[in-house]
Each structure stands twice: as structure tokens, then as C-alpha cells.
Chains A and B, each alone.
Chain A
Amino acid sequence: MFTEQNRNAGRAMVTDSIAITFTLNGATTSIDVSCTHTLAKVLREQLGLIGTKISCEQGECGACTVIVDGKAVNSCIVLAPEVDGCEVLTIEGLAQHGELHPIQTAFIEEGAVQCGYCTSGMIMSAKALLMENSDPTDLDIREALAGNLCRCTGYQRIVRAVSSAAKKLQTVDAGSMKG
């Protein structure tokens, strides 16, 4: 993945690259990254994970949200070397064995997807919330998504989708405990 072109670009910027190892969507990943490159840039351009979207590039819009060690972060303002040794989850890591994650299904069922550009970030923020709080109120959901902008302004349906996903996940969990 790390091409000669990137190496030259690194030199042009008068920066050094650094070797990092981290867990990406469950798999151990070791790569050289430029010290000046953000996690978003590395995910998209070096690792080809375009599901993480870039937009404001200053941590305001949340389109680039990924989960690092259980917390939702704006990957456009996290420097890539910072995730050395961390566990990173991106939108690409959510569906398992071709099965959509319940949050993804809920977004489709509730019509919470419009242009789709904020969707990855919204889903990742929702995922981080539900990892911490399995029974969120609407207020909890709104607070957790406060850093994610939907310019199509489809917020009601997004909140409904997260709420519906939480309920579905509770049922799944209850089912698995009985079993």
C-alpha cells in the first residue's frame, strides 16, 4: 500500500515517516505513515478505506468519525502516529460475514440515509454510544450525535434509527443470555 509516490511526498513536506502497528477492524496492521498525515488521510489514501469521509477537516462535522479504543473520534484531527497500539474500528468493520450491523439495518429501515455523506460518521458515533449505553434516551442519542452534521437535515429519522437499533440489540443480547 505504501508507494514510492507517498514516500516522495513525505520528503517534499520535509517530514519523516514512522512505523505504526494497530488493530484495524480486528486485524493487526503495520504500516509506515507520514508524521503529518491524519488518521483520515491514512485510512482513505494508504489503506483504501473510503467509507471514512472527509469534509470540514477541522473536527466540526463528524463525517470522518471512527472509533479508537471504544471512543468516537474525528479522524481528520487525529494524527496517524497517535493510533500506534490502538484498536481502530471504521465503518468497513461493522458488517460481519456479509451481515449488516443492526445500526446499519436500522438506518436503511428508518429512511435515515439521504445523500449518504454523513452516514458513515453518524453510524460510527451511534455505535460508540451503544457500546457504552445500551438503553439510550432520545436526549442521549442527540448528545452522542451532536458532533455529526447532516446537511440534508434528516436528524429525526437518524435519531429514530439509533433508537430502533438500540432496541434490536437489546433483544439480541437478551436472547443470547437466555440461550
Chain B
Amino acid sequence: MTEVEYVGKSIRRADSVKKVTGALEYTIDSNMAGMLHGKLLRSTFARARIISIDIAGAQKMPGVVAVLTASELPQPVPRFGPVIADQPLLASGETKYHGEPIAIVLANDEDTAAAAIRQIRVEYEELPAVCTVADALRPDAPLLHPGGKRHDGRICDSNVCGEFEFKWGDVDQAKRECARIIDDVYSFPMIHHHALEPLSCIAYPMDGGVAIKSPIQSPFILQRVIASCLGLELSAVRVIASDIGGGFGGRGYPKLEPLAAYSAMRTGRPVKISTSLDDGFFTVRRLAATVSIQTGFDSEGRIVFQDVKADFLMGAYADACTRIVQKAGFLGCGLYRTPNARIVSRAIYSNTVVSTAWFWYAPVGVGYRVSDECRKPVIKNRSARNQVAQFARQRRGFCAG
């Protein structure tokens, strides 16, 4: 047998010495000469009209270089997003989730920036918000993005941003013919990825363009999104994907980088935005879902159909969610061979924190539930129940015995 270079050998991680000595520089550890620190003022309402923002107190503080709100930005406010460019650099007119950035202070040091944030006065008019799938789908629900574009390019006429259907066989006929049908509804909560390294990025002007250092999982998407948001050529945006202190899907797509890039170009200085771990909860979370599953069995306990409706609760902006929800649909039947299936997955906007991927595209939300469904007591006795599950796995080729 030919000698292989890596297989069967213990290979030392290239960066392990730096990691065990603490010498590895994550973005949060990095600094640059003349660097400004950016701190965000976040909305305290899920949905509110911004009546006024008084930044005079913050602007007067020594060490504060700039205070930006939506009205200081180019109009209409630049928006970004990997699939749909729906997220403004700073909330414009209306805040769409609790924690949405509405102002940024750029100061010579972090303490000053944090102190200046506390000097900003915002007057809000609170508006009704939709924070659950049921509320977001009500016919009279306020629209998150009236006039905005859906995943398929159509104009939003509800809070549904993307709708995907996969089917094979004939579910309706199988429903008429099967021996037993089980209906259930599962809810799947929103959770935060909680990478230990708090979100941090540094942007600096470079040759008429901008460079961004960020622990990003998809650097090329970040480059494209920033170029498109700021109206730059792709070649004018350089992304340095720094070492990452945990991602878990939460660092896949642009979050604070576009605002950092804009601030750097605006001030002509490097800008670092570091958030606390708590702040991370206002920046990104996993999709939540309500999944209704109808499963039909024949008299032997074999699955004859699955009818899955998976409604995913997105945040206020699409991020990559429509694509995630589409792929979650692919896996809607879980591990089991299902001769007849219909899976409808929907990505639904709500007044909640921006949602995104979770490890492997978050289809776990659907896939796990379905396999759980199959272990339910079609046949009451446990060994018979296990036989059903085993039978299904064998058919699929996942299990030899």
C-alpha cells in the first residue's frame, strides 16, 4: 500500500503554539495607529418611529470624532444583505427590532465612545410589533418591508419573504389510503450562537477603497456585500478573514462590517467596532421555527407520506435566511424514506433580532423533528416502535441490521 502523508498520523495544528501561548491575535485583540472606536446606540423598542435624535451632547465630548445617525448618511440610507439588500447601515425612520443600531459614536478611545453613547437622546413613538410566526402572518399584521422585494423578486405583500415547496408522489391520495395519520406541531426556539470571541471588526481606508479585518466565515460574500452597499468596485474592497474565536454559523454573513467600512471611509481613519458578548444577542441569532408535520403510516407501520409545513421566524432583515429556509426544506423528511411528500418552508419577517444559519444551515429544525415524529407510538409497544424506525432506516440504507 502506498504511504499516505496525513491519513493515520497525528498532525499538529499550524496555529497551536500561538494558541497555547496566547500570542494569537484575534480581531478583538488588534489595534491600529490612529484607530477610532465605534460604539452603537441600539433601539430599545421592537418597532418604533424615530421622532428625533439629539446627538449634541455626545458631539461635544472631548475625544469624540463623529456621531452618525441615519440622517448623516447618504440618502436613501445604504442597505446591505447577502441575498436581499434590506438592512440599513443605521435604522432609518423606523426601528425594526429591539437592539437595532440607530447611531454610532466614533471616538479616540472606547471609554469615551461608550460615555458619549449615553449622552444621545432619542424620542420614539412605539408602534405595534410582530414577534411570533402567528402574529407576523395575521392578515392585518404590520409589514416589515412594505414595497420590499421577496426572495423571488416579487414585491412583499405580507411578511413572507420566501416560500419554497418540494414534493414527490401523491400526498393527497396517500392520505386517503393510509391506515393511520399523526398530526403534530413543534416549535423551535431562537438561540444565540455564543461564540466566545465577542463580535469585533476593524475597517480602514485603503487606496480609495476600504479594507476590513473580521473573523468572517464567508469573506467573499462580505467583499461583495460591502462593495455593493458602498458603491465600490469589488477590487476596492479587501477582506482579511482573521482567526476566528468560534463561529457556529453566526459569523457567516455581514453584520457590523458594512457600518465599520462606511465609518472608516467617512472619517479617513481605521475604525474598530467591538461589541460585548451580551451585545451579540442583539446582533445575530438562529432562526426559530414552527413546524407542522402530518405523517401517514400503513398497517405495517411504514411511512406512506409526510406533509410538512415549516414556518421559520426570521428577524427584521433577511440575512441569508431565505436560502437557509430553502435548504431546510430539502431535508424536511428527515432520515426516512417517504414515498409521498410535500414540504412547504417559509421565511417570515418579524420585529426580532436578525437571524442566520446555525452549523449546517439549520435544517436540523425540520430534520430532527421528523425523525422524532417517527418514533412516536404508532404502535404502542416500544420494541415494535423501534422496529418501525429500524425498518425505515434499512430502507434508506443507513443501517445494516
Interfacial residues, chain A to chain B (CB-CB below 8 A): 5-6, 8-10, 12-13, 44, 49-57, 61, 63, 90-92, 94-95, 100, 104-105, 107-109, 111, 113, 115-120, 123, 149-152
Contacts and interface: CB of A to CB of B under 8 A. Distances in A.
B241 to A, nearest CB: 14
Interface stretch (B128-136, B174-182, B192-200, B310-318): B192-200
Contact of B244 (A44, A105, A115): A115
A54 B115 contact: no
B32 to A, nearest CB: 14
A12 B197 contact: no
Interface stretch (B20-28, B298-306, B371-379): B20-28
Contacts of A118: 196
Interface size, B (range): 35 or more
23 contacts: A5-B108, A8-B63, A12-B61, A50-B22, A54-B198, A55-B198, A90-B22, A91-B22, A92-B23, A100-B17, A104-B20, A105-B20, A113-B13, A115-B246, A116-B15, A116-B245, A117-B26, A117-B195, A117-B197, A117-B245, A119-B19, A119-B20, A151-B195
A51 B196 contact: no
A71 to B, nearest CB: 19
B111 A13 contact: yes
Contacts of A117: 26, 195-197, 245-246
Contacts of A94: 21
Nearest to B24: A116
A54 B197 CA distance: 7
B39 to A, nearest CB: 13
A100 B20 CA distance: 9
Given A9-B112, A50-B29, A55 B22 contact: no
B208 interface: no
Interface string B1-30: 000000000101101111111111110110
Contacts of B75: none
Interface string B47-90: 00000000000000111000000000000000000000000000
Contacts of B170: none
A5 B109 contact: yes
B106 to A, nearest CB: 15
Interface in B270-295: 276-278
Given A115-B196, A117-B196, A151-B194, A108 B22 contact: no
Contact of B63 (A12, A90, A91): A12
A108 B22 CA distance: 13
B248 interface: yes
Interface in B247-285: 247-248, 276-278
A55 B200 CA distance: 11
Interface centre among A13, A91, A100, A116 (most CB of B within 10 A): A116
A109 B10 CA distance: 9
Contacts of A54: 28, 198
B109 A44 contact: no
A90 B233 CA distance: 45
Contacts of B197: 53, 55, 115, 117
List of 3 A-B pairs having minimum Cβ-Cβ separation, nearest first: A51-B22, A117-B245, A116-B19
B243 interface: yes
A12 B111 contact: yes
Given A55-B277, A107-B20, 8 more contacts: A5-B109, A8-B62, A12-B112, A13-B115, A50-B22, A53-B245, A113-B20, A115-B244
Contacts of A6: 109
A154 B212 CA distance: 30
Interface centre among B24, B111, B247, B277 (most CB of A within 10 A): B111
Contact of A151 (B28, B62, B246): B246
Contacts of A104: 20-21
Interface centre among B26, B196, B278 (most CB of A within 10 A): B196
A157 B28 CA distance: 26
B60 to A, nearest CB: 12
Contacts of B23: 51, 92
Nearest to B18: A116
Nearest to A123: B20
A9 B9 CA distance: 52
A62 to B, nearest CB: 9
A123 B109 CA distance: 31
Nearest to A8: B63
Contacts of A120: 22
B112 A95 contact: no
